[in-house]
Amino acid sequence: MTTQPKFAQIKQHIIDHIRAYTWLENDRVPSENELAEQFQVSRMTARRALSELTDAGILTRSQGLGTFVASLKSQSSLLEIRNIADEVKERGGAYSCTVLTLESIIALAPIAIALGVEANSQVYRSVLVHHENEQPLQVEERFVNPHLANDYLQQDFTVLTPHEYLSQVAPLTEARHTVEAITPNRTICEWLNLFNEEPCLQVIRRTWSAVGIVSFARLISPGSKYRLGGHLTFRK
């Protein structure tokens, strides 16, 4: 029997506590130092475990305060969710898309939690590169709840975007975003035609319809080519 790497053991330890409700939403989880001591590993190994769970939206980090269990309930978004194809066309650009992956996979625990499905159940995964004027603009990796979008794998995403399809079959009601600057790995650099490790903007997004969690997506764009914006109206 293959032994799990230490960072994976730490991740599973945290997930087990969350699933057992011994650590609730907004509870502080052990620090890198505490986990490193408990599992007899380096801080780097503990940091990897916490970082991967944070990237998956399971944990959230607050500078100077620590790492906490993220809210697993729907939360209204302050950012407008727009269709990237419409954004490109509104700027007068030509939109196109390359589909890199469209598959059914087994949901490991972090993805299962993010989608609100059973661990080791089947979920859908897509990886696309969105282009503006034939230049890569954004990499989109998306995991989809098949119970709410059962025809997802049959769609031609060079004709309509995943956002357009999901808005039709499971109209979005709420979303949660995490936005951060990242250094892209070699694969992301290749997909975005980056010749150096230019900082990128990463958006982690979970979306809900009226009947449940629809998708969990990671959107990565070069910092020099993309920005987030929005208009907020505050009522008295």
pLDDT tens-place string over residues 159-180: 999 999 999 999 888 888 888 8
The confidence score (pLDDT) of residue 226 equals 61
- 122-132, strands of its sheet edge to edge: 95-106, 122-132, 135-144, 212-222, 200-209, 174-182
Averaged pLDDT, 81-103: 88
The confidence score (pLDDT) of residue 90 equals 75
pLDDT of 40-87, one tens digit each? 999 999 999 998 888 777 888 877 788 988 865 433 333 567 788 888
For the chain, which domains are there? 6-69 (1.10.10.10), 84-222 (3.40.1410.10)
The confidence score (pLDDT) of residue 92 equals 77
Is the distance from CB of 71 to CB of 26 less than 8 angstroms?
yes
Higher pLDDT, 76 or 2: 2
Looking at every residue in the chain, the average pLDDT score rounds to 85
